[in-house]
Amino acid sequence: MATPATQAKQRTPETAPCDYDVIVIGAGVSGIYQIKRLVDLGVRATVLDANQDLGGTWYNNRYPGARFDSESYTYGYSFSSELLNEWHWTERFSPQPETLRYLNFVVDKLKLREHMQFGCRVEAMRFNEPTDTWQLSLNDGRALSARVVIAGMGPLSTPTLPKFAGMADFKGISFHTANWPHAPLDLTGKRVAIIGTGATAIQIIPVIAQQAGQLTVFQRRANWAAPLNNGPISAPEMAAIRARYDDIFAACARSPAAFEHIPDSRRFYDVPPAERRAFWDRLYAEPGFGIWLANFAEIFLDEHANAEMSAYIADRIRQRVKDPALAELLIPKDHGFGIQRLPLETNYFETYNRDNVELVNSKATPIERITATGLRTSERDFEFDVIVYATGFDAFTGAYDRVDIRGLGGQSLRDKWAEGPVTYLGMLVSGFPNMVMLGGPQTAAANFPRGSEIAVDWIMPLLQHMQAQGHTRFDAQAGAEQAWFDAVKLSYQGLLMSKAQSWITGYNSNLDGHEYGHTRYNIFATGGVQYARHLKAAADGGYAGIAFA
């Protein structure tokens, strides 16, 4: 993406300084906004990213069909009217190439590339107590130091592969969806396996089915999904969106999940069943998350209401899949609608009506091993040219667990979080001074950039406060951290999703320590509105819960 002109300005390991006021890790949506604010203040700061270029999620996830479930115009940055006025989103739910182009447009427009360094992975970070600085070790051999580290390392940036025997034996092409090859991959006529039926698989399957000779999908657990109802945004429509940007972002700030979709205020039981169905018919036909987030609150709280909603969506699946037995296999039986993050789809269910698509129930006939030519289930051998692992991410804490982070007294963050994350406001960790997280565990926004902006806007005055007071260290107090953990835990209470087998509860069958039954409290489930209030209250109270020294 970098042009020769911009590349020339980029720092290389040979020319970059070793000492900074602030190091930002991650050049995704969060890191880009963070460095903008730091550069504006003239802070000596840099961004480090393991990737070869900026974009984070949108640099990595290049699989066919990769796109937002967020309305594009609610996902873009809100802070610059110049950016808002110039950028034209061409689809209501932007595809990955357009989003990556957008992030490059932002960085080039704001001249941020010269503050970024790529191809450098932070492997270890140690807090040096006598100097109140972090010492960072990079995979390129460099040792850097910074007063403050701001980690925007990504909520879904660490892919997890399954643990099948024989994965290295496969002679064809295989990769995780987050590592889809950058060079074009022609699947015409190929025999392709997709392992997994989560949000990514649901995006990729309809697209690949049109190219592949044969597509075989291995499903262990069915997932609820509802139509994305995507469409183009014409120039006049984009002009109308521009004219109401203030309202759009204000609506996001009022919504628990930071979307334009606001939960219906009526009580489920006050609305007669026929009217409920008519309401759902309308939501099912609308673009985006309305069917999930503009629904009755009881869907998330009340088993009976959730069962009725699930039955409605199950009927929709039955209408769309011709083979009744196949439809039943695609209808989740182990969890209710919407208690896991809802994947949105385009022709997902119809894809199973195609002759070249097969669905294998890998709960009934588990995959036993990957072979040189394909894979073996408990029932039969399959031959493939390509195996795609759509097996998700080590969500929220994965990127942190991959770095050896040592705070006061040499304490390891990995050890501290062994049973699950513990944070203050999802931003700080007690005992790990001068370290800030953006998009880390125990924050709220489901529409991530909205949350990133709130987080950066919160941390900047804190840094200025520290500097103005002549302090060199800030650290969350243990009591404040415990209180936040208690609030996060309480936010799960009564929610049906607290039993979900998903990243909301930290479940991941491919990761040791993430087994079902031990909840890892990964998000502040009460939502963005309350979350923003907590941040504001802490700041207004002179950064209550934070000790400065």
User: Where does this chain bind ligand FAD (CB under 6 A)?
Assistant: 25-31, 48-51, 56-57, 61, 66, 68-70, 75, 121-122, 152-157, 200, 399, 403, 438-439, 447-448, 452
Minimum distance of ligand FAD from residue 541's CB (angstroms):
27
Cβ closest to ligand FAD, residue 382 vs residue 507 = 507
Cβ closest to ligand FAD, residue 374 vs residue 440 = 440
Cβ closest to ligand FAD, residue 153 vs residue 209 = 153
| Numbers of helices and strands, H then E, in the chain | 19, 20
Unique residue bearing structure tokens 């260290």:
473
CA distances from 500 to 123, 271, 487, 507 (A): 32, 27, 19, 8
Minimum distance of ligand FAD from residue 154's CB (angstroms):
2
Q: Which of 505, 370, 536, 381 is nearest to 441 (CA)?
A: 505
Phi, psi dihedral angles at 137 (to 5 degrees): -110, 130
18 CB neighbour count, 10 Å cutoff: 11
Minimum distance of ligand FAD from residue 216's CB (angstroms):
22
Cβ closest to ligand FAD, residue 103 vs residue 360 = 103
Minimum distance of ligand FAD from residue 258's CB (angstroms):
8
Minimum distance of ligand FAD from residue 229's CB (angstroms):
14
CA torsion sign for 229, 232, 236, 240 is positive
Cβ closest to ligand FAD, residue 59 vs residue 424 = 59
Minimum distance of ligand FAD from residue 356's CB (angstroms):
25
Cβ closest to ligand FAD, residue 89 vs residue 170 = 89
What 3-state class would DSSP assign to 139?
coil
Spatial separation of the C-alpha atoms in residues 59 and 361, rounded to whole Å? 32
- Give yes or no for a contact between 20 and 45, defined as CB atoms under 8 angstroms apart: yes
Spatial separation of the C-alpha atoms in residues 261 and 527, rounded to whole Å? 13
Q: 72: Cβ–Cβ under 8 A, 6 or more apart, which residues?
A: 89, 91, 92, 93, 94, 98, 99, 233
Cβ closest to ligand FAD, residue 336 vs residue 439 = 439
Helical segments of 223-357, H only: 235-243, 245-254, 273-285, 290-293, 303-320, 324-330, 348-351
Cβ closest to ligand FAD, residue 155 vs residue 227 = 155
Cβ closest to ligand FAD, residue 33 vs residue 337 = 33
CA distances from 307 to 181, 197, 302, 333, 336 (A): 41, 22, 9, 11, 6
Minimum distance of ligand FAD from residue 93's CB (angstroms):
7
Spatial separation of the C-alpha atoms in residues 241 and 336, rounded to whole Å? 35
Minimum distance of ligand FAD from residue 53's CB (angstroms):
9
Minimum distance of ligand FAD from residue 389's CB (angstroms):
14
Beta bridge partners of 138: 122
Kindly state the DSSP code that residue 499 receives in the 8-state scheme.
G
Cβ closest to ligand FAD, residue 375 vs residue 504 = 504
Cβ closest to ligand FAD, residue 118 vs residue 164 = 118
Q: How many residues does the chain have?
A: 549
Minimum distance of ligand FAD from residue 57's CB (angstroms):
4
Minimum distance of ligand FAD from residue 187's CB (angstroms):
19
CA distances from 486 to 289, 524, 534, 541 (A): 29, 10, 13, 20
